[in-house]
Amino acid sequence: MSADERNSGEKSTVAVVKTGGSKNEHLERGFRSLLQALGGLEAIVPSHVKRVLIKPNLMMGEGWRTGITVHPYLIELLVREIKKLRCEVIVGEGAGWGCGSDEAFRGTGVSDLCERLNVPLIDFKRGKGIRVPVHDGFVLKDVLVDEILIECDFIVSLAKLKTHCETVVSLSLKNMKGLITEDRERLRFHLLDVNRCLIDLNRVYRPNLSIVDGVIALEGIGPLRPGRPKPLGILVGGTNPLSVDAVCATIMGIDPRDIRHLSLAEEAGIGTMDLSAIEIRGEKPEDVAPPSYEFPPLRVEDLSPYDNIQVSPGNPCSNCIASLASYLHGYIDRKIIEEATHRVNILIGAKAKSKGSGDEIAIGNCLLKYRGKLPFVPGCPPPSDAYLELIELGLKGKFPVATVNSDGKVVPVDEK
Ligand code: SF4
């Protein structure tokens, strides 16, 4: 069943509720208020629905307190309520690039939870992929997703309220990216244009009910570290993912029209992000908005806070950006920057090109073509501490055609 069939006739209503804390009792109260404000789950889930997919954001094995993944108790509440409708429930996710879903499920406690609730937990990265056609897509003609989606009548997105270094925010529309089965399909998104591909995916599969967990949100350079947890104590929900995301963006203090994938979603006819056309129930966005919300730099080029470290991107994915950001904003030794005599130019992402300027360092397996030609940091993504030696050598004017071994040591390219 297509998203258009599932979403037809929906009204753009978004509810915003305060939880009053992050204990289970707070979440339960907030969750019930949210559903009540939306008219109740029975009114939202059509009577013909047999199988419901809950798609939580479990991008890696980090707990909900980090602001990176959703609170497992919200999954439990959803499972319990959906079961009351006599629907079959499954929980499914494909963890982020470089992380096995198993690890993410275990680290977030969701493996144990689903076992206890006797609910299937599907790893989309290991599922059988099928190519589903995308009609009138911006860039995609088809998209590779787990075949189990064909049998799901209804999708509940349980997204986290987060910043994202590529897409500015990671909310309901972005949460659908976890439906993809293979890492190479994710890479295709990044190489083609992640914003347009995301919306093409949402043309086919988008949430029928979107709930955003802003109990502990994430700010700064998300969607993982060095992003920082931001306690907001709110849940936001509705049946149109674009309208829900637009309200969340407003709470975060950013105009939804400044977020490219939201504008593209409106252009694709997914819904409205015009707040005057959305009925907002519960709290007003301005009453739950924090005084400030820190966003990542809008351009990867601006990731470095230092004049003598330049970043030259060629469509890197968020994991490489987050890894580099984590190095630049955390691991780097400020003394080395102060004493630097040379400039370093970091190439990142498969489309980055060397200009032969003699000051370049290539990072990430996407740029394996430069191994043996430039200083090269391997990994997908490279661990943040793997940059240390090569970049520090560069800042002293040394650019050995070398690589980094598993201990983070600079070694000749033929040495592991
Ligand atoms: S090397 Fe970096 S940019 Fe390339 S796919 Fe891996 S994490 Fe993404």
Residue 294 lies in a domain: no
CA of 122 to the centre of ligand 1 (A): 25
158-176 pLDDT tens trace = 999 999 988 999 999 999 9
| pTM, to two decimals | 0.89
Q: Given a cut of 80, is residue 59 above it in pLDDT?
A: yes
CA of 88 to the centre of ligand 1 (A): 37
Of the residues 59, 60, 97, 192, which should be mutated to test ligand 1's pocket, given the most ligand atoms within 8 Å of the CB? 97
Q: Which residues contact 21 (CB under 8 A, 6 or more apart)?
A: 233
Q: Given a cut of 80, is residue 141 above it in pLDDT?
A: yes
CA 56: distance to chain centroid? 11
Counting the structural domains of the chain, the total is: 2
Q: Which of 190-204, 315-329, 358-372 has the lowest average pLDDT?
A: 315-329
311 and 282, same domain (yes or no) = no
Band of the pLDDT at 31, cuts 50, 70, 90? very high
Band of the pLDDT at 332, cuts 50, 70, 90? confident
Of the residues 59, 319, 361, which should be mutated to test ligand 1's pocket, given the most ligand atoms within 8 Å of the CB? 319
337 and 247, same domain (yes or no) = no
Residue 47 lies in a domain: yes
Residue 248 lies in a domain: yes
CA of 234 to the centre of ligand 1 (A): 33
Q: Which residues contact 123 (CB under 8 A, 6 or more apart)?
A: 92, 93, 94, 101, 102, 105
Q: Which of 5-14, 134-143, 216-225 has the lowest average pLDDT?
A: 5-14
Task: From the CA of 350, give the closest atom in ligand 1.
Answer: 4
262 and 308, same domain (yes or no) = no
CA of 224 to the centre of ligand 1 (A): 15
Percent of the chain past pLDDT 90, that is, above it, reads 79
pLDDT recorded at residue 409 = 86
366 and 283, same domain (yes or no) = no
Mean pLDDT, residues 349-377 taken together: 95
Band of the pLDDT at 2, cuts 50, 70, 90? very low
Which string of b and e fits 102-112 if b means at least 16 CB within 10 Å?
eebbebbbbbe
pLDDT recorded at residue 319 = 81
d(CA 136, CA 412): 49
Among 288, 321, 348, residue at a domain's last position: 288
CB-ligand 1 contact for 191 (6 Å cutoff): no
Task: From the CA of 348, give the closest atom in ligand 1.
Answer: 3
Closest residue by Cα to atom 8, ligand 1, is 317
Q: Which residues contact 369 (CB under 8 A, 6 or more apart)?
A: none
CA of 300 to the centre of ligand 1 (A): 14
Residue 30 lies in a domain: yes
318 and 204, same domain (yes or no) = no
Q: Given a cut of 60, is residue 7 above it in pLDDT?
A: no
Band of the pLDDT at 10, cuts 50, 70, 90? low
CA of 349 to the centre of ligand 1 (A): 6
Helix (H) or strand (E) holding 144: strand 142-146
Separation in Å, CA 318 to CA 182, 220, 340, 408: 16, 13, 28, 22
Among 241, 264, 288, residue at a domain's last position: 288
CA of 367 to the centre of ligand 1 (A): 9
Report yes or no: 368 and 379 within 8 Å, Cβ to Cβ.
no
CB-ligand 1 contact for 364 (6 Å cutoff): yes
Separation in Å, CA 96 to CA 146, 217, 280: 15, 18, 32
pLDDT recorded at residue 414 = 76
354 or 406, which is more confident: 354
114 and 143, same domain (yes or no) = yes
28 and 123, same domain (yes or no) = yes
CB-ligand 1 contact for 317 (6 Å cutoff): yes
Residue 295 lies in a domain: no
For residue 354, what are the domain limits?
300-412
321 and 284, same domain (yes or no) = no
pLDDT recorded at residue 5 = 40
pLDDT recorded at residue 63 = 96
Q: Given a cut of 80, is residue 406 above it in pLDDT?
A: no
CA 220: distance to chain centroid? 13
Band of the pLDDT at 8, cuts 50, 70, 90? very low
320 or 331, which is more confident: 320
CATH of the domain at 47: 3.40.50.11440
CA of 162 to the centre of ligand 1 (A): 21
Among 288, 311, 343, residue at a domain's last position: 288
206 and 342, same domain (yes or no) = no
Q: Which of 20-34, 175-189, 246-260 has the lowest average pLDDT?
A: 175-189
Percent of the chain past pLDDT 70, that is, above it, reads 97
122 and 212, same domain (yes or no) = yes
Residue 316 lies in a domain: yes
pLDDT recorded at residue 162 = 97
The label of the residue with tokens 């409708």 reads 85
90-102 pLDDT tens trace = 999 999 877 899 9
CB-ligand 1 contact for 214 (6 Å cutoff): no
Mean pLDDT of the chain: 93
The Cα angle at residue 387 between residues 386 and 391, in degrees rounded to 5: 150
63 and 116, same domain (yes or no) = yes
pLDDT recorded at residue 286 = 98
Structure tokens at 353: 């090109």
DSSP string for 165-230: TTTEEESHHHHGGGGB--HHHHHHHHHH-HHHHHHHHHHHS--SEEEEEEEEEEESS-SSTT-EEE
d(CA 284, CA 36): 16
Of the residues 99, 317, 377, which should be mutated to test ligand 1's pocket, given the most ligand atoms within 8 Å of the CB? 317
Band of the pLDDT at 335, cuts 50, 70, 90? confident
CB-ligand 1 contact for 108 (6 Å cutoff): no
209-249 pLDDT tens trace = 999 999 999 999 999 888 999 999 999 999 999 999 999 99
Q: Given a cut of 70, is residue 186 above it in pLDDT?
A: yes
pLDDT recorded at residue 416 = 58
CA of 71 to the centre of ligand 1 (A): 28
CA of 250 to the centre of ligand 1 (A): 31
CB-ligand 1 contact for 187 (6 Å cutoff): yes
CB-ligand 1 contact for 382 (6 Å cutoff): no
Residue 293 lies in a domain: no
CB-ligand 1 contact for 366 (6 Å cutoff): yes
Q: Nearest CA to 389 among 403, 372, 374?
A: 403
Residue 75 lies in a domain: yes
Structure tokens at 170: 């990671």
Band of the pLDDT at 1, cuts 50, 70, 90? very low
CB-ligand 1 contact for 363 (6 Å cutoff): no
331 and 265, same domain (yes or no) = no
